[in-house]
């Protein structure tokens, strides 16, 4: 029987590296192994240093190993073609066209990606067979949503079949077979003899909290087979370095907490001196992880020609403050785990200290604002205690969905729509994908409010953020076709379209909005941010700032720290060359960033004293 192994955890903790390390080791042991990513912002190709894409691809230099990156756009078209194929011959062309239009909304993309994902769990005999299938999943919040879909979609399909026959992914009759596939997939995920969930985490407070939360969510789905990989542990040899010695002390406290609060089988992995890329390097890492080996002796460092110090940007050419009475909106985006929340909080606290009425919010399903601020952040806008002029809020997709559905249905009733039409709308809105649209709709509300002088968005990890930002274009096109065309062909939600359009124009205007990409100086987060920047440029949005996080201070003395510093120097130069915008460097600190006092101190280092706007 095929074994299924799922790697999950907070963004940036090394899920992909660990998943690829396991895949190479199993393949080298002679097991037919496939690694699949469900992450919209996949890095498999970067780690294996070869093109992979939306098909099963053999990995060069690793017999028995194949990989696939599920492409949401391709998966969506495949899903629509499969669902509509039996209907094209049975219904008039005009009706088929309406059905296809109903399936062209953004919610179909998420279900289509999941549908492709379940194909690997519920495989037919004619498909290639594997001994082990490894899933390198998206960051935790998105993963939980993905795993919830089988149960929710089964309910949606049942409800639609009993009602109008409509769902927001098309006619229930066309996807009835999918219901059984999803149920079988969830049964496999619950089978402890077939499926294992490995959570990768750093010994840090936020990662521990998120791992506990995710395990709790999986428990609600009847999934209980868990293992831990505690990654990024400072080598014992680095205790002579004051910076790493302090971080090692911090890690020791969290390692004890993990043993008490997460009593699952676990393994530890040390922080390495260089990146993990290529088959040869993955085999080295596998030897360290599985066999207890040590990292190969660091080669003699050739430091001649490298700058002794890296001079961080002083922001002389970039002003974060609102100008000419206009509100300033700052979006922080990037790969999961790069420090977007910390950068967002530093910026929001600094703006508030300058006297600007500032709103700090997150659209990340796994929100960490409260962890960094050192106080709870709820679903309603509330003042941040101890910091005048600062308010914070997190958008809860489930709560937002209920509010969104109520507003749409109340509006339909006030317009005098018939009960039968409202029932159709209710069925279309009663689906898991409505959560994402509702979260964006709430974001639109905040972005449209005139009360704020500055708004700081701690956005979700890159792939999820792109889906969120693409929604207004997609949904403004779908409003007529998907909802109102099925109710009243002459009705169009012009108000919603106008709201979407105004916010997109705000995003495009550099005088009003700044897109800041956060990354640490390594290849994967740089490439991911670069790809996202290019995608944003297609809709007229350009980056205005880069935050380089976790930068090791110069003049390191130990070979390990010096090796990592030199690696970072190379990538800091690449960041400046690729993005050609102001770059703020935030140093690697000996402690976690938490609390207003620390945020204020970092804000002063980052943005300096107030200058005239």
DSSP per-residue string spanning 410-476: HHHHHTT--HHHHHHHHHHHSSTTHHHHHHHHHHHHHHH-SS-SEEEEEPPPHHHHHHHHHHHHHHH
Looking at residue 155, its pLDDT comes to 61
Concatenated DSSP letters for 13-29?
SSHHHHHHHHHHHHHHT
pLDDT tens digits along 491-520: 334 555 666 677 778 888 888 889 999 999
**Nearest-10 crossing angle of helices 596-607, 340-353:** 80
Q: What is the mean pLDDT of residues 177-204?
A: 85
Q: Which of 113-117, 337-341, 447-451, 553-557 has the highest mean pLDDT?
A: 337-341
Locate the DSSP E strands across 84-179. Answer: 132-136, 166-167, 170-171
Looking at residue 57, its pLDDT comes to 92
Locate the DSSP E strands across 99-247. Answer: 132-136, 166-167, 170-171, 195-201, 226-233
Q: Which helix (H) or strand (E) holds 392?
A: strand 390-394
Q: Say whether pLDDT at 524 is over 60.
A: yes
Beta carbons within 8 Å of 579's beta carbon, 6+ residues apart? 517, 530, 533, 543, 546
Q: Say whether pLDDT at 458 is over 90.
A: no
Q: What is the mean pLDDT of residues 337-347?
A: 89
- 567 close to 275: Cβ distance less than 8 angstroms: yes
pLDDT tens digits along 560-606: 888 888 889 999 999 999 998 999 888 888 888 889 999 998 888 88
Provide φ and ψ at 147, rounded to 5°.
Answer: -70, -20
Rg of the chain on CA atoms, in Å: 25
Q: Which of 164-173, 205-214, 418-427, 565-574 has the highest mean pLDDT?
A: 565-574
* Domains of the chain from N-terminus onward: 3-73+109-149+175-291 (3.40.50.300), 329-396+439-601 (3.40.50.300)
Compute CA 160 distance to the chain's CA centroid, rounded to the nearest angstrom. 31
DSSP class of residue 106 equals: H
Looking at residue 315, its pLDDT comes to 41
Beta carbons within 8 Å of 135's beta carbon, 6+ residues apart? 4, 5, 6, 7, 19, 35, 36, 37, 38, 117, 120
The strand pairing partners of 166, in sequence order, are 171
Q: Say whether pLDDT at 25 is over 90.
A: yes
Q: Which of 185-199, 302-316, 526-540 has the highest mean pLDDT?
A: 185-199
pLDDT tens digits along 275-327: 888 999 999 999 999 988 766 544 433 433 344 444 444 444 467 788 777 88
* Strand pairing class (226-233; 195-201): parallel
Q: Which helix (H) or strand (E) holds 175?
A: helix 172-190
Looking at residue 309, its pLDDT comes to 46
Q: Which helix (H) or strand (E) holds 543?
A: strand 543-551
Q: Which helix (H) or strand (E) holds 399?
A: helix 397-414
Looking at residue 536, its pLDDT comes to 82
Q: 3-state SS of the chain: helix, strand, coil percent to 5?
A: 50, 15, 35
Looking at residue 438, its pLDDT comes to 75
Beta carbons within 8 Å of 578's beta carbon, 6+ residues apart? 526, 530
d(CA 402, CA 421): 19
Dihedral sign for Cα atoms in the order 189, 192, 195, 200: positive
Using alpha carbons, select from 236, 241, 354 the residue that is nearest to residue 295.
236
Distances (CA, A) of 326 to 114, 316, 449, 528: 42, 21, 13, 31
d(CA 118, CA 566): 43
d(CA 462, CA 333): 6
């Amino acid at each position: 029987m095929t074994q299924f192994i799922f790697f999950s955890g907070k963004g940036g903790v090394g899920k992909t590296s660990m998943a690829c390390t396991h895949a190479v080791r199993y393949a080298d042991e002679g097991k037919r192994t496939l690694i699949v990513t469900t992450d919209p912002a996949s890095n498999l190709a970067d780690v294996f240093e070869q093109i992979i894409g939306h098909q099963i691809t053999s990995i060069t230099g690793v017999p028995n190993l194949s990989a696939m990156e599920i492409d949401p756009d391709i998966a969506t078209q495949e899903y629509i073609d499969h669902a509509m194929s039996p209907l094209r011959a049975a219904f008039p062309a005009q009706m088929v066209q309406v059905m296809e239009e109903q399936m062209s909304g953004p919610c179909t993309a998420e279900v289509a990606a999941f549908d492709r994902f379940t194909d690997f769990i519920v495989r037919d005999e004619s498909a290639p067979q594997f001994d082990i299938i490894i899933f390198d999943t998206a960051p935790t919040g998105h993963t939980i949503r993905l795993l919830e879909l089988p149960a929710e979609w089964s309910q949606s399909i049942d409800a639609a079949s009993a009602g109008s026959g409509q769902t927001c992914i098309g006619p229930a009759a066309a996807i009835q077979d999918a219901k059984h596939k999803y149920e079988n997939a969830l049964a496999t995920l619950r089978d402890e003899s077939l499926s294992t969930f490995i959570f990768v985490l750093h010994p840090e407070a936020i990662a521990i909290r998120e791992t506990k939360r995710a395990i709790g969510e999986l428990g609600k789905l009847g999934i209980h087979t868990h293992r831990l990989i505690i990654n990024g542990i400072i080598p014992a040899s680095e205790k002579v370095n004051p910076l790493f010695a302090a971080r090692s002390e911090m890690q020791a406290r969290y390692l004890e907490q993990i043993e008490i609060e997460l009593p699952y089988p676990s393994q530890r992995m040390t922080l390495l001196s260089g990146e993990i890329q290529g088959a040869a390097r993955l085999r080295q890492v596998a030897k360290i992880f599985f066999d207890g080996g040590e990292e190969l002796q660091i080669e003699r460092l050739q430091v001649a020609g490298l700058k002794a110090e890296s001079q961080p940007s002083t922001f002389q050419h970039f002003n974060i403050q609102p100008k000419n009475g206009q509100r300033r909106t700052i979006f922080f985006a990037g790969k999961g785990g790069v420090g977007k929340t910390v950068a967002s909080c530093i910026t929001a606290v600094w703006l508030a200290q300058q006297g600007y009425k500032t709103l700090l919010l997150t659209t990340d399903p796994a929100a960490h604002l409260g962890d960094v601020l050192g106080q709870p952040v709820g679903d309603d806008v509330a003042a941040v205690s101890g910091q005048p002029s600062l308010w914070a809020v997190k958008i809860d997709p489930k709560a937002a969905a209920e509010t969104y559905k109520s507003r749409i249905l109340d509006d339909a009733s006030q317009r005098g729509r018939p009960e039968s039409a409202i029932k159709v709308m209710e069925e279309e809105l009663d689906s898991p994908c409505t959560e994402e649209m509702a979260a964006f709709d709430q974001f639109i509300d905040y972005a449209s409010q005139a009360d704020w002088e500055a708004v700081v968005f701690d956005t979700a990890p890159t792939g999820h953020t792109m889906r969120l930002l693409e929604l207004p274009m997609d949904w403004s096109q779908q409003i007529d076709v998907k909802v109102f065309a099925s109710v009243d062909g002459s009705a169009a939600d012009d108000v919603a379209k106008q709201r979407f359009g105004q916010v997109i124009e705000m995003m495009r205007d550099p005088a009003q909005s700044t897109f800041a990409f956060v990354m640490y100086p390594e290849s994967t987060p740089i490439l991911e941010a670069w790809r996202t920047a290019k995608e944003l440029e297609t809709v007229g949005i350009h980056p205005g700032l880069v935050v380089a996080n976790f930068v090791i201070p110069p003049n390191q003395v130990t070979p390990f720290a010096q090796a990592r510093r030199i690696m970072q120097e190379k990538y800091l130069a690449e960041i400046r060359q690729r993005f050609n915008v102001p770059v703020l460097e935030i140093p690697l600190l000996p402690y976690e960033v938490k609390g207003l006092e620390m945020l204020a101190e970092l804000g002063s280092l980052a943005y300096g004293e107030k200058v005239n706007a």
